[in-house]
Amino acid sequence: MSNRTYDIAVIPGDGIGKEVMPEGVRALEAAASRFGFSVRQQWHDFASCDYYARHGTMMPEDWKQRLGRPSALFFGAVGWPDTVPDHVSLWGSLLQFRREYDQYVNLRPVRLMEGVPCPLAGRKPGDIDFWVVRENTEGEYSSVGGRMFPGTAREIVLQETVMTRHGVDRILRFAFDLASKRPRKLLTSATKSNGIAITMPYWDERVEAISAEYPDVSHNKFHIDILTANFVLKPQIFDVVVGSNLFGDILSDLGPACAGTIGIAPSGNINPEGDHPSLFEPVHGSAPDIAGQNVANPIGQVWSAAMMLDHLGEADAAAAIMSAIETVLKEPGLRTRDLGGRASTTDCGKAIADAIRTA
Ligand code: NAI
Ligand code: MG
């Protein structure tokens, strides 16, 4: 047994989360045995609407104690709108992890893979390959504000954007760091300093200030409106794209959508310093429309496992999972329904695990 052991909190959640999670874990175990580390899994049934039905809350009061001090959280998807309103299920679970664990980076890859039809005309694998880095804790999503004189003609509603030097600088440093490790070494910043004339010029100023620490990384900026247009029109010009909470939210959905099905997109909610555990999950939700049929695409969950291993320092294992995903996507018989194939969730997941073992 190796001395590299990771304690993973496994939280499948709801709907297809419960179907894709076993495939994510299968890939993790295959990578562990091939690369000589071990994964200790601790499965949890909370952060789900089933748990809510039994207990009246999404998570136990002492969820932090129950999780202990895992190396990372591996999450499926949460939500079952027929029984629990989405704001209750999301705020009661995932958003608690993001806040309490100060996961201030939301990271998503945007990569066009062979075997995945691209919604943008004329693009082939290799043309689209970049990362979206979203600030995950402050910015436009603040609780500073309020409503006065509700229901009257004097009604006033305010919600303030909060940008702190601490919060802006740390997300920019993460993005510059990531760019410095990529061959193109290019950082693109999302701004809107022409319209949002106080906070966005501040954001731009901090980009300039932090860029001085990274002389080998070049950087540019676009206003968010033309930036979204360029995701569609010229996706090949991007390498690492960083945005505030709101801009990053939009870009981190648009980016993966430009590279095909939502079923394969992964994400990380990261606390880079490691003061708290990070969380890795597919971008998609619980997909009630296809849940329970064994047809969901497990690749978003499996790719999340690769991001998690990369974060934990197991870069070779992460790369092996990525090449296994590529191998399986090239095989029409192993594709799930969302990619026009007929393979089941388990067929696809088992094929990926086999490819990891033999790659
Ligand atoms: P969704 O991502 O669950 O589904 C959107 C569409 O994509 C559906 O047609 C679904 O069948 C399809 N789809 C999603 N994942 C797929 C996969 N792996 N393979 C094949 N097809 C897939 O988003 P929706 O319907 O808006 O939300 C459903 C529930 O999930 C809601 O309760 C929502 O709050 C929750 N949700 C949770 C998220 C999370 O846990 N991070 C993220 C997004 C939504
Ligand atoms: Mg979003």
SS (H, E, C) the chain: CCCCEEEEEEEEECCCHHHHHHHHHHHHHHHHHHHCCEEEEEECCCCCHHHHHHHCCCCCCCHHHHHCCCCEEEEEECCCCCCCCHHHHHHCCHHHHHHHCCCCEEEEEEECCCCCCCCCCCCCCCCCEEEEEEECCCECCCCCEEEECCCCCCCEEEECCECCHHHHHHHHHHHHHHHHCCCCCEEEEEECCCCCCCHHHHHHHHHHHHHCCCCCCEEEEEEHHHHHHHHHHCHHHCCEEEECHHHHHHHHHHHHHHCCCHHHCEEEEECCCCCCCEEEEECCCCCCCCCCCCCCCCHHHHHHHHHHHHHCCCHHHHHHHHHHHHHHHCCHHHCCHHHCCCCCHHHHHHHHHHHHHHC
- With CA atoms as reference, report the closest residue to 194 among 170, 222, 159: 222
Atom number in ligand 1 closest to CA 288:
28
| 263 CA distance to ligand 1 middle (Å) | 9
Tell which one of 267, 286, 339 to mutate to probe ligand 1, the residue whose CB is within 8 A of the most ligand atoms: 286
| 236 CA distance to ligand 2 middle (Å) | 22
Q: Whose CA is nearest to atom 4 of ligand 1?
A: 287
Measured from the alpha carbon of residue 337, the closest ligand is 1
| Choices 3.40.718.10, 3.10.450.50, 3.40.50.2300, 3.60.70.12: CATH for 1-103+276-359 | 3.40.718.10
Task: Report which residue type is found at 341.
Answer: G
| 210 CA distance to ligand 2 middle (Å) | 27
How many Cβ atoms sit within 10 Å of the Cβ of residue 2? 9
Residues with C-beta atoms within 5 A of ion ligand 2 = 249, 253
| Residues with C-beta less than 6 Å from any ligand 1 atom | 16, 20, 77-79, 81, 86, 90, 94, 262-263, 281, 284-290, 296-297, 300, 338
Measured from the alpha carbon of residue 79, the closest ligand is 1
Measured from the alpha carbon of residue 265, the closest ligand is 1
Cβ atoms 188, 204 nearer than 8 A: no
| 250 CA distance to ligand 2 middle (Å) | 6
* Confidence at residue 18, expressed as pLDDT on a 0 to 100 scale: 98
Calculate Rg over the CA atoms of the chain.
21
* Confidence at residue 176, expressed as pLDDT on a 0 to 100 scale: 98
User: What is the spatial distance between Cα 192 and Cα 111, in angstroms, rounded to a whole number?
Assistant: 26
Atom number in ligand 1 closest to CA 281:
41
| 80 CA distance to ligand 1 middle (Å) | 10
* Confidence at residue 143, expressed as pLDDT on a 0 to 100 scale: 87
Query: pLDDT (tens digit, 0 to 9) for every residue of the chain, 359 residues total?
Result: 468 999 999 999 999 999 999 999 999 999 999 999 999 999 999 999 999 999 999 999 999 999 999 999 999 999 999 999 999 999 999 989 999 999 999 999 999 999 999 999 999 999 999 999 999 999 999 889 999 999 999 999 999 999 999 999 999 999 999 999 999 999 999 999 999 999 999 999 999 999 999 999 999 999 999 999 999 999 999 999 999 999 999 999 999 999 988 899 999 999 999 999 999 999 999 999 999 999 999 999 999 999 999 999 999 999 999 999 999 999 999 999 999 999 999 999 999 999 999 87
Task: Report which residue type is found at 334.
Answer: L
| 284 CA distance to ligand 2 middle (Å) | 10
Q: Which fold has domain 129-258?
A: Isopropylmalate Dehydrogenase (3.40.718)
Atom number in ligand 1 closest to CA 282:
41
pTM: 0.95
* Confidence at residue 2, expressed as pLDDT on a 0 to 100 scale: 60
Angle separating helix axes 345-358 and 315-329, nearest 10 degrees: 130
| 114 CA distance to ligand 1 middle (Å) | 23
> What are the residue boundaries of the structural domains of the chain, listed by start?
1-103+276-359, 129-258
Structure tokens at 212: 């001085």
Quick check: do 1-103+276-359 and 129-258 share a fold? yes
